[in-house]
Each structure stands twice: as structure tokens, then as C-alpha cells.
Amino acid sequence: MSSTSSQLIISGVIDGPLSGGGLPKAVELYALSDIADLSAYGIGTANNGDGTDGEEFTFPSDSATAGDYITISFESTEFSNFFGYTPNYTDVVELFFNGDDAIELFFNGAVVDVFGEIDVDGTGEPWEYKDGWARRIDGSVPSGTTFQVTEWVFSGPDALDPCATNDSCSPTVPFKSFVVSKCHHMHSLLFYTLVLTANPF
């Protein structure tokens, strides 16, 4: 973990297959410990390799408990249709991203975690998630503000195209599954190696 005291990390991202511009579009965060006030945190997107747009959404003064998954979605209808549950925060218009865009997590105005490369268009990159998803590998936490592709697994582009709901996907989008305990790390690597073999990007 970086020298900041951030207790949130990015644990997943989806650029969905449903109509309306590729819905659902959502980011999942994971709470490493109890957080009394989420308003110190925010997220932003870096679109088309054009660099950071800064903090575009700031959380309200809510709390979180260690182990919580916090989902932020562009909208709620198609998210709920796809996953079968509602996101924690919705109608976040800043999250109208595509599967070649990077995501930044901020704490007290500073970047503490990043998914993707903010100065690179992700099309054709190993981290591209167009009509797909990405999920942090169990046991990994940010070592700084530089994206580490080896800390993630990916569905590959267009993996979700046949899916009307998450339950109809094989494999399913692995939201609400990240664990920070390293005892799960090798199981995660094995499972998602099989996923990548079945869904090469």
C-alpha cells in the first residue's frame, strides 16, 4: 500500500453489454478497514488516453465497514437488470466510460489507486475491458499510483456480448468476490488463469 492512509481500493470494473451505450458501467471498491467518513474519497475517469480529469465524483459523508463492497454505477436500471441488485451509488454521470478508459481513486484529493493507464487509450491493451470486466486478484493491494496489470484478471473484450444477465454469463462477472487475505491468492490465480484461457484477449 502507498504511504497514504487510504482504506479503499479499486476491486472491479465493468463495461456491460446491454443497450444504452454499453450498460451497466460501474466501478467496485473494497473497504480494507472501517471508514467513518467516505467524503474524503472520490473517483474520476481518464478517457481515451487523454490523461486525468481529476476527481469527478466525491462520496457523501457515509460510512463503510471493513470488507464492504461499494459499487458506483452510471445508472441503476440496467445495473439492476444485469446483476439482480442495486448499486450503492447511482446516476453518477461521470462514469459514462468505455472499456478503454482508466479509473482513478482519490483520497483527500490525491490519487491512491488507479485501474488502467491514464495516458493510454486502452484499445488493444492487455487491460481493455470493452463489453467485459476486470477484477483485482485476491491478496493484491496498490503499491502506488502506477497501474500494475499483473494485479488484475480480465474477461477480454466482448466477453459479455452473449449475456443478458450476469447469471447467464460463463464465467459470471466476479463482483463482490475480492478478498484481501493472501490465503485466497493462489486459488484466485488458478481460477482466473482458467478464465483467461477460455477467454483470451
Question: Which pLDDT tens digit goes with each residue over 53-77?
Answer: 999 999 999 999 999 999 999 999 9
Apex CA 93: angle with CA 201 and CA 101, to 5°? 25
DSSP bridge pairs for 25: 15
Beta-strand runs (E) in the chain: 8-18, 23-31, 41-46, 57-58, 69-73, 102-107, 110-115, 132-136, 152-154
Give pLDDT tens digits for 109-139. 999 999 999 999 999 999 999 999 999 999 9
Instruction: Name the pTM for this structure.
Output: 0.88
Structural contact between residues 122 and 116, judged by C-beta atoms closer than 8 angstroms: yes
